Structure 1
Amino acid sequence: MDLFSRSWAALRTAVAELRDEDFARSSGCASWLVRDLVCHLIIDAQDVLITLVTPTAAEPTRDAVTYWDVVEAPTGDDPLDALTVRLATAYEEPWLLKFHLDDVGSAAGRAAGLADPAVRVGTRDEVLTVGDYLSAYVLEWTLHHLDLIAHLPDATDPPAEGLARSRELLEKIAGAAFPPSFSDKDALLIGTGRRAPTEAEKAELGEGAAKLPLVLG
């Protein structure tokens, strides 16, 4: 839970440090600008708040690893993705996006810090402990932090411990480890298709290269 808080705080700080012109740049999410990604983070923060106040007595059906499904690559036709883009445009001014993310995001961070990790909660018609749910979101925050700064070379990377934990989760999802020579950041970028591997990296991946990228949903 502490790692969730550090990863989320680092991502919100990265957004707060954006210049107005950065919001019109491309992000690491296909077809999304930075402003679209920040709008998505607001929705994510709302989801965290909703989930943390949705307790259940049912047995867990997922954990931090199985929370994620490997899905088909997005085609750009998803109506929720399209809604995010329209909503981001409606904010008009970057400071409004920053303000809303700080407001809702801070609340989500406080709620996570107060939550009992053993409590079971319901989300997406599944049941997890709070601890597993927040651990799964370390991967979400870390990947989106990388997306946010994909074309901002002077921006700060996600926390090292968040990168390491996210790599560990992705390797468990993949059912195989990435080559030790891969940095945690490169393992995440290549593993999720955010960066194509070089020929040398493909050689190191061996047969595992054919199983990539892992698109998570």
Structure 2
Amino acid sequence: MEPTRAAFSAECARFTEVLTELTDDDLGRPTDCPPWTVGELIAHTRTGVGRLTDMLAAPAPPHAEVDAAGYFGAAKFTAEVDADRIAGGQRDALPVDRAALATEFDRAWRATEAAVAAAAPDRVVRTRHGDAMRLGEFLRTRVVEVGVHGLDLAAALGRSPWLTPPAAAVIAELLTGGRPTPAGLGWDRLTLIRKATGRTAVTVPERAAVDAAGFRWLAFGR
């Protein structure tokens, strides 16, 4: 689990640095995760990186039922789940306070980091979907959460992506199941992540190459 922990910490630390640089006007910008503004997207991401604190405080399920890839199954992201997530991001961002968002995000991810460090490596936790997962597998989903929403935030702010190499490696490995991308695509990790999560359109030839390779595309609710 150490590479995943390192990736989570590196990506969250970089995300926090960006938050400290924002202006009040930045928080009201629209994002590619409608209807969220930048402030609401940050609030949603803060909630996501902080989930493990309460999960680890709860009783452990007897055994794991799903892995990180299964967590991003299409059946999980129903209209009801999406509506609840959207409303949660909007609710948690009110009142929008730039300094508070940065401080609370930093507090949330560091609390998660401490809780994970204190837990047994084989600990099982229960997700908000009701599934039981090994701690390391759920932590991989948190790297996806902060890394991919970091791409969304960068796009909304007109900045170059800041995805850290450790996080890019964890996310790419999850998206591909550890397999190399299809020959001929020429995708680097950033391009792979953008394409696979719907942040950049996949062309018809690219889709054909992906399908021929038997890639399993994960479902991502915004």
User: What TM-score do you get using the length of structure 1 for normalisation?
Assistant: 0.81
Q: 1:79 to 1:60 in 2, by over 3 A?
A: closer
From 194, 209, 212, the equivalent of 1:189 is 194
The 8 Å contact of residues 56 and 121 in structure 1, kept in 2 or not, is answered as: yes
Give ranges in structure 2 of 5+ residues lacking alignment: none
Amino acid at match of 1:116: A
From 91, 104, 111, the equivalent of 1:107 is 111
Asked whether 1:149 is paired with 2:154, we answer: yes
Helix, strand or coil at the partner of 1:99: helix
From 3, 16, 19, the equivalent of 1:15 is 19
Larger mean Cα displacement after TM superposition, 67-76 or 135-144: 67-76
Give the C-alpha shift of residue 176 in structure 1: 8.7
Distance 1:96 1:212 in 2: 39
**Cross-structure match for 1:94:** 98
CA RMSD in angstroms, aligned pairs only: 3.1
Within 5 Å, which residues of 2 pair with 1:1-217? Answer: 1-70=5-74, 78-88=83-93, 90-123=94-127, 124-155=129-160, 157-172=162-177, 177=181, 180-197=185-202, 201-206=203-208, 208=210, 214-217=218-221
Q: 1:161 to 1:171 in 2, by over 3 A?
A: same
Amino acid at match of 2:204: K
Q: 1:78 to 1:195 in 2, by over 3 A?
A: same
User: What TM-score do you get using the length of structure 2 for normalisation?
Assistant: 0.79
Q: 1:203 to 1:73 in 2, by over 3 A?
A: farther
Distance 1:209 1:20 in 2: 44
Distance 2:57 2:9 in 1: 18
Matched residue count: 212
Give ranges in structure 1 of 5+ residues lacking alignment: none
The 8 Å contact of residues 171 and 178 in structure 1, kept in 2 or not, is answered as: no
Give the C-alpha shift of residue 45 in structure 1: 3.3
Amino acid at match of 1:125: G
- CA displacement 1:119-159 (0-9 Å, x = unmatched): 12222321122112112221122111111111334455111
Give the C-alpha shift of residue 95 in structure 1: 1.7
Amino acid at match of 2:208: G
Amino acid at match of 2:125: V
Distance 2:208 2:20 in 1: 40
The 8 Å contact of residues 5 and 113 in structure 1, kept in 2 or not, is answered as: no
Helix, strand or coil at the partner of 1:106: helix
Helix, strand or coil at the partner of 1:151: helix
Q: 1:109 to 1:19 in 2, by over 3 A?
A: farther
